[in-house]
Amino acid sequence: MIDTRPIGMFDSGVGGLTVLKEVRKQNPKENIIYLGDTKRFPYGSKSKESIIELTKKGIDFLLEKNVKAIVIACGTATSQALEEMQKQYPLPIIGIMDSTVQYIKKKKTLRQIGVIATTGTIRSKGWENKLHRQIPEANILNKACPLLAPMAEEGWTENKIAKLTVQEYLKEFQNIDCLILGCTHYPLFKKCIQEELGEKVEIINTGEKLAKDMKKILKTQQIQNESNHQGNYEIYLTDTETNFISVASKLLKDKEIEQKIKKADLE
């Protein structure tokens, strides 16, 4: 199938780019339109009602761009708005949780599970409920880390402050087999986190797991792009007065990223 329509992806800021990066790695021919709602960042401290409203606006914007599927590349929006969105819209909408839950379920050595995410995600009990439903014997330790996403937006992911903050947040995570990075901003701290927990703990980047499933979903839905061209991506931001460009160009190793960024209006 040669369906050149883009995949739409959405987050409050740079975090979802960690998902975009993995999706592009696994699906290099796909075109992607990314929306970062930088004007309303952070999502992690907002109510469920606000998250549903903002997610709807994001999806409506992406639909106008003629996307064939949507990835909610945000843990906060996945945990609180995904089910509602899947009921309301006819196209495939994928969140960041299911692929990771299935991965852990299959890997029987991972039963002491740590989850770090935003305050909203932890409050929603989204990970706990999904993991317990699929893996009743799992022990889950949760922690909200509200400072990490703003630090990631600032590009503070490998400095002293990042190390100390990660250390403080993770001090209770002594006996876990794996740690789910339940907010898509957190893979930016992977180096610090791995150093803190040691090599024995598997750090799970949800984008990586989602990207593999994405391939299957596109194929099953018969909307994959099997053309001979490399896929492209475009980024829309609701506010451009941010550090987004420098963090994004470093993460995606793209020096020309500025030309791919446009202003979006969700009103």
Interface with ligand DGL (CB under 6 A):
11-12, 15, 41-44, 74-76, 118, 121, 149, 183-185
Q: Is 198 left (phi over 0), alpha (psi -120 to 50) or beta?
A: left
Nearby residues of 194 by Cβ (< 8 Å), 6 or more positions away? 201, 203
CA dihedral of residues 162, 168, 170, 174 (deg, nearest 10)? 130
What's the distance, Cα to Cα, between the start and end of the chain in Å? 35
Q: How far is the CB of 109 from ligand DGL (least distance, A)?
A: 26
Residues found in the chain: 267
Neighbours of 181 (CB within 10 A): 29
Q: How far is the CB of 102 from ligand DGL (least distance, A)?
A: 19
Task: List active site positions.
Answer: 74, 183
Please say which residue, 69 or 97, places its beta carbon nearer to ligand DGL: 97
Please say which residue, 6 or 13, places its beta carbon nearer to ligand DGL: 13
Please say which residue, 41 or 169, places its beta carbon nearer to ligand DGL: 41
Please say which residue, 67 or 77, places its beta carbon nearer to ligand DGL: 77
Q: How far is the CB of 113 from ligand DGL (least distance, A)?
A: 18
Tell me if 140 sits within 8 A of 177, measured CB to CB.
no
Helix (H) or strand (E) holding 10: strand 7-11
Q: How far is the CB of 11 from ligand DGL (least distance, A)?
A: 5
